[in-house]
Structure 1
Amino acid sequence: MAGNNEQNSRVARKRQQPQPPKKHWFRRIVLAIVALVFIVGLAGAGLFFYYAQSAPKITEDSMRSENSTRIYDANKQLITSLGSNNRQYVKSSDIPATLKKAVVSIEDRRFYRHKGVDYYRIIGAALGNLKGSSLGMQGGSTLTMQLIKLSVFSTSTSDRNLKVKAQEAWLALNVEKHFSKSQILEFYINKVYMGNGIYGMGTAAKYYYGKSLSELNLSQLALLAGMPQSPTYYDPTTYPQYAKNRRNLVLKAMYDNNEISKSQETAAMATNVKSGLASTHKSFQKQQKKNKIADAYLKEVIADLQDKGYSPYKDGLKVYTNLNMNAQRRLYNIANTSTYVNYPNDRFQLGVSVVDSYTGKVSAMIGSRKHTDVTYGTNRAVQTDRSNASTMKPILDYGPAIEYHSWPTYKTVADTKYNYPGTDISVNDFDNKTLGNMTMRQALVQSRNIPAVKTLETVGRTKAKQFANSLGMNLKDKTIPYSYAIGANVSSLQVAGAYAAFANGGTYHKPYYINQVTTQDGESTSYSSSGKRVMKKSTAYMITDMLKGVINSATGTATTAKISGVYQAGKTGTDGYPDSFKHKVPSSANMDSWMAGYTKNYSVAVWTGYANAYERDSNGNAIGYLTSADSRIAQVIYREMMTYLQEHSPNSDWTRPSSVAETKKNGVAELYVVGHLFSDAEASSGTNAKSSSSSHSSSSTASSSSESASSSSSHEAESSSESSSSESEASSSESEASSSSSESSSSSSAPAESSSAESAESSSSAPTDNEQNSQDPTR
C-alpha cells in the first residue's frame, strides 16, 4: 500500500513539472509558404522594376499616330504605307458614347476604375489559364496596356514575353498619370487595325458602311468594337457568321455591364450582320492604285514579313527593301504601255524577275499586266505552274555535264531519233527534225531537245537534280522525269536566281526582297542571302561562254534579245501543246515563251503567255496560244529591260578562270577544263578520260601556246573552293560518275547511265504526263 502511494506521488510530481511545447507543424508550413510568397513577390517586384528601367519611351505622338508599316525602296525612299493613307482620325467628342461603352464592355470592363493595370483581371486571367479558359477577354491586358502594345511594341511572337509584359504594365501606369481615360480611349479607337489595310474605327465605319461613326446603329457599332481581336475573321463581308458571333458577344457584354437594356440587346442581335454594308470601296481602291507599279513586289514583301513572324498591318514597322524603284517603273511601263513592246492584246500576260547577279537582291519584279483594278493580285513572276522549257537546259543538263564529267564545249552529242529512256515515246524538236552529230555548244545554242535529254541520261538524274536544286529549282520528285531536261514547272524568280550563279562565277544566292526591318521600339534586324558555291568557276564560265552564242550567233535562238556592245548571255524557251490539243491550234503555236539572260550585274528572267493556254472564244476557237511572233515578245521585254539596267551599270566581259583553257576546233574557239582536254575520238565517243600530262601534251598543238601550257600546273593553282567543289564528286560518291580515269562510254544514240538503280528506272518506269507532253516541241 505504501508502495502504491509513493508511485502515485511520483506521477503527480511529474505532472506538475513544465512540459515541452507541442510541435505545431501546420503553423510552420503556413509560415514557410508565406515566407516563400514574400520572397517570390519581392523577387518579382525586383524583376519588374529591372525590366521597367529599360522600357522604351512613349509619347502622345506615338499613341496618336497611325500604326502603319512603311515600306522603303533600296534608296530608303518611301514606297507606301500600309493602310495609313486611309485613316480618318476621330476626336473623342465625335466618338459615339455607345461605341465607347461597347469597347469598354468587351475589352476592359474595369477600365474606369483601374490605374492602367487591373490586378483583379491579371489574377482572373491567370486562374482562367489554369482552368483552360480565356474568360472571353484578352488575358490580363487592360485597354491602356493594349494601347501601349500598339504604340511601342509589336504583335510578333518575340514581343510576347515577361519582359515586354512588365514594360507594358509600367508604361500603362505612367500613361494613366498623364492622360485622361477619355484621351486613352480616343487613342485606342483610332489606332486599332480593322482589316483590309484599315486603321481606326472611324475609318472602318467609312470602309464597311460608307458612313461616319455617328450614323451607325447599335448592331454596327458593336461589330466594330469587336473586330480588333481578329479583324480578318470578323470581317462581315468575308466571314459573316464569325462576325455575327463576335457582335453578339459584344452585345451580351454590354448588357451584362448594364450599358444597354435586354430589349436593345435582343433587337440588335436580330439584325442581319450584313445589313448596311457598303457594296464598293471606291475611295479606298483609288488610294491603293498608287501602289500598282510595285504591286507584285509589295505582295511578296508582305508575305515575306509574315513568314518572318511580323504582322505588317499591325506592327508599325519600317521595312527597307532591295527594290530599285527606277527600274521598277521602267519594267511597269514596258509591261503596260506600247512605248517599248507591241502586245497582241490586253489578255497577253507576263511574269518578270530582276535579280542582282552578285547578291541575290530582287531589284524589280512584275507579276502581270493590265491589272489596274486589282491590288496584290496574281504574281506570275513567282508562280510555278508553267514549264520553263529550254531555259532549264543549262541548269539540269549541260551545267551538270561540265561540273561532274568535265565535258568540253566541243563534246559531241547526237541529235538522232531517240525515245525517252525506258519508253517508246519519242523526243522531238521544234522543227521535228534531227541534225545528226553536233557539239554541246551547237546543241545549246540551237536549243536542240534530243541532245539535252541524252545529256541528262548520261549525267544521271540524281546528280542532275542535286545540281539543279543547289540553284534553287526545288525539284521534289524522288526521281525526276527525263522530260525535265527540256522544262519543269518553276518560276521566273527561280530561273533568274539560278542564272545569277552562272553570272557571278558559281555562287548561288537565294533571291530576297527585304534588307532591314525596324520595329516600333527601334530594334533593327538586317537580312541578306549568304552565298554558297554550288559549282566550279570553270562550269559557270563555260556555260556563260556558250550562252553568249544563243544571243550573238546567227544560229542562236535569242538574236532578238541582242543589245549592241553589251556583254550578256542568255537562253530562250518555248513550250508547245500536247497532242490532245495540237489539232485545235496552228502548228507553230506555243503555250509559253521564255527569255532568261544575264550580265555581270543583273539576271533577268521573263515568262510570257496567256493565263489560260486552253481558252476559247464564244465560237469555240482557241485564243490562248502564242503565235511565232508572240513567242519573240519575251526577248523584246528582256532586251528593253536589260538595256535600261545596263545604262546605269558598268559593262564588262567575264574573265576566263585559270581552270579553263581554249582550243580551236573546226575554226571555233572551244573551251575545256584544264586537265581534261578530250581528244577528237574521246569527244565523239563520250569517253571522259582524265588527261595525263603526256596525252595533254600530244594534243596541245590544237591550242594556243599560252593556253596549252597551263595544264596541271594551272589546275593546281586553282582556289581550293573551286577545285574541291565538285571535281572529286565525278570520281566518288555516286556510281553515276565513271571510275577515276574514264566516263562510261556513250554511243551516238542513248548513252546508258552507270548507276544500276538509274538504269533500272530507265528501263522500267513509265513516263509521267509531263514526259508524254514533252514530245511536243520546246526550244
Structure 2
Amino acid sequence: MTNRKSKNEPEIPHMKSGSSNNINGSQKKAKPKKDKKPLTPEQKKLKRQRIVAWVLIVCVSIGILGVTGVGALTVKNMKNAPALKKDDFLTQSASTIFDKNGEPIYNTAAKKSDPTTFDQVPQSLIDAFVAVEDSRFFVHGGWDVPRFTKAALSNLLDSLRHGSISFGQGGSTLTMQLIKNQYFMENEDAATGVNRKLQEIYLSTKLEREQVLSKKMIFELYINMINYGVPRTMGADASAQAYFGKRLSEINLTEAAFLAGVINAPSVNNPYYSIEAADERTKEVLYLMNYHGYITDEEYQLAKAVRVEDLLVESSASEGEMFEYQAFIDVAYQEAQELTGLDPGKVSMNIYTSMDPTVQKGIDDFQNRKITDLNPSMIDEEKNEYRPIQVGSVILNNRTGEIAGIVGGFDYNGAFLHNRAIAKNSSPASVMKPHIAYAPAFEYQGLATSHVFLDAPMNYRGTDILIGNYDGRYLGQVPLMMAVADSRNIPALEATQGTIDTIGNEKMVEYLNKLGFSSVSEDNFRPGFAIGDGTFTVSPVELAGANAVMFNDGNYIKPHTITRIEFLDSDREPYVPSHTATPVISDASAWLTTRIMKYAVDSPYNPVISPVRRNYPVFGKTGTNKYDNETADATGVPRNAIKDRLMITATSEYSIATWTGFDSKDKKNPYFIDEYGVDEASQNLTGKLNSYLLDLIEESFGTGDDVARPGSVADIQHILGTFPYQAPVEGMDQSLLATGYIKRDFLKLAEASPKDLSALSDHKVMMNQKGNKFNFDIKMATYPDASQLTVAPSTITMNYPSGGTVDGKRLYDPSWLFGAVRYKSEIRVDGKPIAESMTEGPNQEISVTIENLKGKIEACSYYTFDKSTGKKSNVVCTSVDAKEISVSVPSAGTAFNDFVEQMVAAGFSRDLIQGNYVLEGNKYKSVVSADPNILGKSVKPGDYSGTTIRVNVTDLEITASGDYLRSNLKRAADAGYLTVDTQGKASGVIDSFTVDGVAMSSFRLSDHEGSEVVVNFK
C-alpha cells in the first residue's frame, strides 16, 4: 500500500531518549481513575460453581509461591498442556470456509499481513504496548506474579458475584497472551477456564525459561498476529497502513497509543465504528505511558490533544475495495472458534456452512449500495446533517436453525468489523410482542386470539411511571389481533403481567432463556421487556432464533452457520455440531402466535410492514425505539425522534430479522431518524429491505405456505369482551359474538352472566291500607355504582392513575345483553311472591288485595337486571304481621256490602259485623254509623278481636203515592233491588201497587228486597 498522510495530520513530538529507554517502568505516578461501567447481569450459577470459584481462583492466586509452586499444584494440568514447539509460532496454517454447496468462499491465508521485525518497531509502540498490556514484560519470566495475583483476587470477587469463573480483570502477560492466541481460545466453562489459565502460566514460564523464544521475538510475534480491527488484515504494520496510510516505522506517539489500545476490543474501539470510543481508549493508553514514565507530562498533554479522526485516511471501503461474503464469513469464523476452542487462522480446518450463495450475493449487492431503491440518502441538505444509517439482518431456516444469509451493514466490505447481525444494537421495541407478551399468554393463561384488552392509562406496577402508546392515545377496548397489528403497549403489558401472575417470574425468565435470550435473569427481568424496555438488548440473530420457534412447533434451535468442521493437520475426528431442538412452548401456542403475526402483515394498521405482503402467507411484526423526552430535551433531538427500527418477517420456512439505526454512541449529539425527511423513514428501508430479502428467499427456496394447524388448537365462539369466555345466549345480537382460536386445553365456556351485583345494604318498608288493598311503600338503598343503572354507552371513560379521565371505545358491555341494574321488591306470603315491582329508582309501591294476605307476609327487595331478572343480589326481607297493620275503616256513606268485605279483608271477622237498618236519607244500604265508633278511622284489627261491630245501615220507605219518577220505588228499581211493572206506563202519579201480589200502601225495602211490584197509576 502506498504511504498516505492525512492532510490534517498534526506534528507530534518524537520520543526523548530518556523516556524511551525506561523499560522497567520504575517511575511511579498516581493511578488513573477508571470509570466503572455497569456490567450486564448474567445468569445465576449453582452454589457449587461458587465453591469451585473459591477453591480454584484462590489456588491460582497464590502466585507468590512462584512457578514451581504452581507447577506442584497443577501437575495433572501440565501433563495435558500442549507440546511447546517453536515452529508453532513461526508457521502459519490456513483454513477454508465453504458454502452450503461445498464451494470454497474464503481462505484464512487471504489476510493481508506485513510482518515487522522487532528492530523495525518504533520505540513509541513498544512503550505503548508495555504500558497498557504488560508493564514488567522485559523483567518477568513469562508470568507477572504481583500483577496476576492482584487481578486474580479481583476476579475472585466477580466470580463469587456472578457464579462463574471470571478472568475479566486481566493479569496475563504478553507471553501468556501469545500462548493463548496460539494454543487456546476463550472458554466460559469454570473448570476448563482455570485449567487453561494454569496451562498458559506453565507454558509461558517454560517458553522463556527454556529460551524457546526471546523477549524480542515474543513481542514481534505478538504484534504481528493480533487483530487491530481492520478486516482481513493482521499485524501492526498492515494495520498502520490501513488506518494512517503510513508504515509502522513512521507512526507518531498518538498513533502508537491508538494501535496499542484498539486491540482489547477491536470492534468497539474501531474509529470507523465509534470515534468517541477510539479517542477515549487512546487517551487511556497515553495516560498509562505517562504514569509508567515512558513519556513526559508535556508529551502526554500534546499527544492527547490530537484527535484520532484527524489522523485517519479514508477507509478501504470508500475506495471500493470489496470482500465477497464477508459478513457471513465473519460470523462463521467466530462460530468455529467458539465450537472448537481453536483459531482457524492457526489450525487448518475445512469449515462447511449453511450459506446460500445466491442469497448472500444479493445481500452483498445491497451492502455495497448497488440496489438503488435500498440506498437511502444519508445527507439532509436542508438541515446540513450527515446521518450514517446502518442495518443488520439475518435470514434463518425455521426448521433447522441454519443461517442462509447475513447482512452485516452498509459498506461491509472492509470499512467495519462491527457485524450488526450479531451485535446487540438496541432493545427489541415492539418487535417481540408476539413472542414475549402473547405467546406465553396463549400458553399459560388460555387466551384466545379473539380476546379483548382494555387499552387504558396504567403505570408500571409498583411505580408511578405512566405507560403510553406510540400515538399517545388510549383506545379503550381493543381486540387482541388489532392490539398486535397496531402495536399497542398497554395490552401487551396486560398480557405479560397476567402471565407473570399465573406462572411467576422464575418461569417467565426460564421461557425467555429457552427462546435464546440467555442474558435475561431474575435479577434483570422486567415486564417491560415485552414492549422493548431499554435495559433488554438483542441482536437480529437472537430475534430470528426466537421467531423461528413459532414456526417450528414451539421448539428452539440455536441459530448457526456451521454444519461440519474437518481438521486437516491432526487426527482429530470431524466436528459435526449437534443442534438439538429444545421445547419452549406448545405447538398450539406457537401456531396461535403465527396467526397474530399474519394478521399484523395483512391488516391495514402499519404501512411500514406493507412492502412484505405477498400472494402467499407472510408473517411479521415491527418495532420502533424512540428517544425519551429527557434525552431529547438534553441533546436537542426532537421529542419522539426515532433511534432505530426493527422488523421480523417470516414465511413458513424462513425468518428474517432486521435492525436499522445508527452506530454512533455519542450521547451528546445522537443521530435520529427523521420521520418526515429524506432518509430511512420516508424510504421505509426496514420494510423494503425485508421485502428484498424475501425476494432472495423466493429465488433460492421458493414461496412459503401457511403453517399447518395442529390438533391441539380449537375454534372458539364466545361473547365479545368476556374472560373467562362466556357461551353465547340464544337469540342474542350476533355482532356481540367473537370467534377465534384457542389452545384446546383451555376450551371451556362459562355460562353467560352479567357483572356481579353490589350487595343491598337495607330497605325500609311502610304499609297502609286503602279500601280492600294494602299499599307497601318500600325505599331501597341507592345502588353504589350509578353508571350501572343505565345501559352502557358506546364509549368508555378511563381514569389516569394520577387523576383525570380519557374516553375510549367500548366494544361490549354486559348491559347490552342483560340490561341495566334495576331495583326490585316482592311481597311474599309463605315464601311465595304474590306481587312485585321493578323500577329504575329505589322507591317501590306495591298494592296487594287484603284477602290475599293470609299467612307469613314478607316484603323482600334486591338488585337485578332489567333483561335478566334471574340474576339478583342478596335479598333483604322484612316480615309483616297483618294484625299489626293499621287499616283505614270505611267511612259513613260506604255501601254496606263493600264495608263488610273491606273489614273482612282487613282482618275483622265477618261473623262479628252486624248490620241494623234505619230509615235515614234516600240511599239504601249505606253505612250511617257504627258501634264502636270506628268509621273513617285508622285502627289495628287485632285491637278488636272478638268485638261485635254494630253498623247502622240506611233503609228506604216505599209508599204508594207521589210522582213515580221521583219516588224511592223508582230508585230501588233502577238499583235492581226490586222488579217493577208499571203496566205500560212509566210515569205519572202512583195510585196503588201490589208487592208479590199483595196490595200494600207502603213497605220497607229491606223487608221486600227482590220482590215484584206492580204499580197502578192514577
Matches within 5 A, 1:157-236: 160=196, 192-193=225-226, 195=228, 199=234
Name the CA distance, whole Å, in 1 between partners of 2:701 and 2:581: 22
Which residue identity does 1:81 align to in structure 2? T
Matches within 5 A, 1:582-661: 592-609=644-661, 630=682, 632-649=684-701, 651-661=704-714
Which residue identity does 2:707 align to in structure 1? W
1:418 equivalent in alignment to 2:456: yes
Q: Give yes or no for contact 1:396–1:456 (8 Å, CA) kept in 2.
A: yes
Shift of 1:375: 1.7
Q: Give yes or no for contact 2:548–2:556 (8 Å, CA) kept in 1.
A: yes
Shift of 1:633: 3.7
Q: Give yes or no for contact 2:356–2:405 (8 Å, CA) kept in 1.
A: yes
Distance 1:58 1:743, change over 3 A: farther
Which residue identity does 1:685 align to in structure 2? T
Distance 1:279 1:320, change over 3 A: farther
Residue in 2 that maps onto 1:471 = 515
Residue in 2 that maps onto 1:404 = 444
Q: Give yes or no for contact 1:496–1:604 (8 Å, CA) kept in 2.
A: yes
Which of 552, 557, 574 is equivalent to 1:504?
A: 552
- Write out per-residue CA displacement over residues 20-63 of structure 1, whole angstroms, 9 at most, x where no aligned residue: xxxxxxxxxxxxxxxxxxxxx9xx99x99999999779796x65
* Corresponding residue SS for 1:394: helix
Residue in 2 that maps onto 1:341 = 373
Residue in 2 that maps onto 1:686 = 723
Which of 389, 397, 400 is equivalent to 1:359?
A: 400
How many equivalent residue pairs?
617
Name the CA distance, whole Å, in 1 between partners of 2:248 and 2:437: 64
Which of 507, 515, 527 is equivalent to 1:480?
A: 527
Matches within 5 A, 1:441-590: 441-445=481-485, 447=487, 451-456=491-496, 458-460=498-500, 463=503, 466=508, 467-468=511-512, 470-472=514-516, 474=520, 477-481=524-528, 484=531, 490-491=537-538, 492-512=540-560, 522=570, 527=577, 529-552=579-602, 558-564=609-615, 566-574=616-624
Shift of 1:508: 2.0
Residue in 2 that maps onto 1:259 = none
Name the CA distance, whole Å, in 2 between partners of 1:424 and 1:614: 27
Shift of 1:370: 5.2
Name the CA distance, whole Å, in 2 between partners of 1:330 and 1:660: 39
Distance 1:590 1:441, change over 3 A: same
Name the CA distance, whole Å, in 2 between partners of 1:512 and 1:535: 21
RMSD: 7.2
Which residue identity does 2:442 align to in structure 1? I
* Corresponding residue SS for 1:605: strand
Name the CA distance, whole Å, in 1 between partners of 2:122 and 2:534: 64
- Write out per-residue CA displacement over residues 396-446 of structure 1, whole angstroms, 9 at most, x where no aligned residue: 33322321233333x3415x66222677958557595848564x4454455
Distance 1:149 1:443, change over 3 A: closer
Residue in 2 that maps onto 1:721 = none
Shift of 1:79: 3.7
Distance 1:165 1:660, change over 3 A: same
* Corresponding residue SS for 1:350: strand
Distance 1:688 1:396, change over 3 A: farther
Residue in 2 that maps onto 1:16 = none
Matches within 5 A, 1:730-741: none
Q: Give yes or no for contact 1:496–1:605 (8 Å, CA) kept in 2.
A: yes
Higher relative contact order (CA 8 A, sep 6+): 1
Distance 1:599 1:160, change over 3 A: same
Q: Give yes or no for contact 2:497–2:527 (8 Å, CA) kept in 1.
A: no
Name the CA distance, whole Å, in 2 between partners of 1:529 and 1:335: 30
Distance 1:517 1:425, change over 3 A: same
Residue in 2 that maps onto 1:331 = 363
Name the CA distance, whole Å, in 2 between partners of 1:49 and 1:501: 44
Distance 1:360 1:406, change over 3 A: same
Q: Give yes or no for contact 1:96–1:213 (8 Å, CA) kept in 2.
A: yes
TM-score by length of 1: 0.55
Residue in 2 that maps onto 1:379 = 420
* Corresponding residue SS for 2:701: coil
Shift of 1:603: 0.9
Distance 1:203 1:394, change over 3 A: closer
* Corresponding residue SS for 1:401: helix
Name the CA distance, whole Å, in 2 between partners of 1:450 and 1:228: 44
TM-score by length of 2: 0.44
Question: How high is the sequence identity, in percent, across the aligned residues?
Answer: 18
Name the CA distance, whole Å, in 1 between partners of 2:436 and 2:313: 48
- Write out per-residue CA displacement over residues 307-339 of structure 1, whole angstroms, 9 at most, x where no aligned residue: 789685985575848562632332343355363
Q: Give yes or no for contact 1:289–1:375 (8 Å, CA) kept in 2.
A: no
Name the CA distance, whole Å, in 2 between partners of 1:660 and 1:495: 25
Residue in 2 that maps onto 1:255 = none
Residue in 1 that maps onto 2:111 = 85
Which residue identity does 2:371 align to in structure 1? T
Distance 1:166 1:649, change over 3 A: same
Q: Give yes or no for contact 1:223–1:250 (8 Å, CA) kept in 2.
A: no
Residue in 1 that maps onto 2:17 = none
The structure whose residues are more often strand, as a share, is 2
Name the CA distance, whole Å, in 1 between partners of 2:237 and 2:663: 39
* Corresponding residue SS for 1:365: strand
User: What residue ranges of structure 1 are gaps of 5+ in the alignment?
Assistant: 1-40, 111-119, 134-138, 252-264, 662-671, 673-677, 696-701, 716-726, 732-739, 749-762, 768-779
Name the CA distance, whole Å, in 2 between partners of 1:345 and 1:631: 9
Q: Give yes or no for contact 1:607–1:634 (8 Å, CA) kept in 2.
A: yes
Shift of 1:229: 12
* Corresponding residue SS for 2:710: coil
Q: Give yes or no for contact 1:319–1:518 (8 Å, CA) kept in 2.
A: yes
User: What residue ranges of structure 2 are gaps of 5+ in the alignment?
Assistant: 1-67, 130-134, 153-170, 188-192, 270-277, 379-386, 731-736, 757-798, 804-1018
Query: Rg: which structure is higher?
Result: 2
Q: Give yes or no for contact 2:327–2:408 (8 Å, CA) kept in 1.
A: yes
Name the CA distance, whole Å, in 1 between partners of 2:673 and 2:709: 52
Name the CA distance, whole Å, in 1 between partners of 2:377 and 2:646: 18
Q: Give yes or no for contact 2:597–2:621 (8 Å, CA) kept in 1.
A: yes
Name the CA distance, whole Å, in 2 between partners of 1:211 and 1:652: 56
* Corresponding residue SS for 1:680: strand
Q: Give yes or no for contact 2:226–2:263 (8 Å, CA) kept in 1.
A: no
Shift of 1:168: 9.8
Q: Give yes or no for contact 1:294–1:366 (8 Å, CA) kept in 2.
A: no
- Write out per-residue CA displacement over residues 160-182 of structure 1, whole angstroms, 9 at most, x where no aligned residue: 48889999999999999xx9x99
Shift of 1:500: 0.7
Residue in 2 that maps onto 1:735 = none
